[in-house]
Amino acid sequence: MTYLILKALVSGILIALVSEIAKRSPGFGALVASLPLVSVLGMIWLWRDRPDAANMADHATATFWYVLPSLPMFLLIPFLLRQEWGFWPSLIAGCLLTIVLYLLMTWIGPKVGIKL
């Protein structure tokens, strides 16, 4: 249980840190947020729990393929905000787009030989 709490604290601190940095400098906050810190932390936690090279390789590969459908969200949200949609509708639209693209990835990926 202590290990789970430690993982949650470290991960939460990371999110809070990005938020605080972005308040002072949106560009630098975006840079820090774009770093694959969550993925790296996830791999560290996974490796500690299950040190299996094949499993880790599969995880890292799947992470790459799942990052791709999330990227258009970061173009749609600013576009909609500039069209005066408001933050919440823009965020919801970006999340819905990402969900649709994730579903497409999970459906199409295996059909073209991508192991997810």
Query: Is the entire prediction scored with pTM above 0.75?
Result: yes
Rounded CA separation 71/97 (Å): 10
pLDDT tens string, the chain, 116 residues long: the values are 888 898 889 888 988 998 999 999 999 888 888 888 888 988 999 999 999 999 999 999 999 999 999 999 999 999 999 999 999 999 999 999 999 999 999 999 999 999 88
> Do you know the residue count of the chain?
116
Contact 97, 73 (CB under 8 A): yes
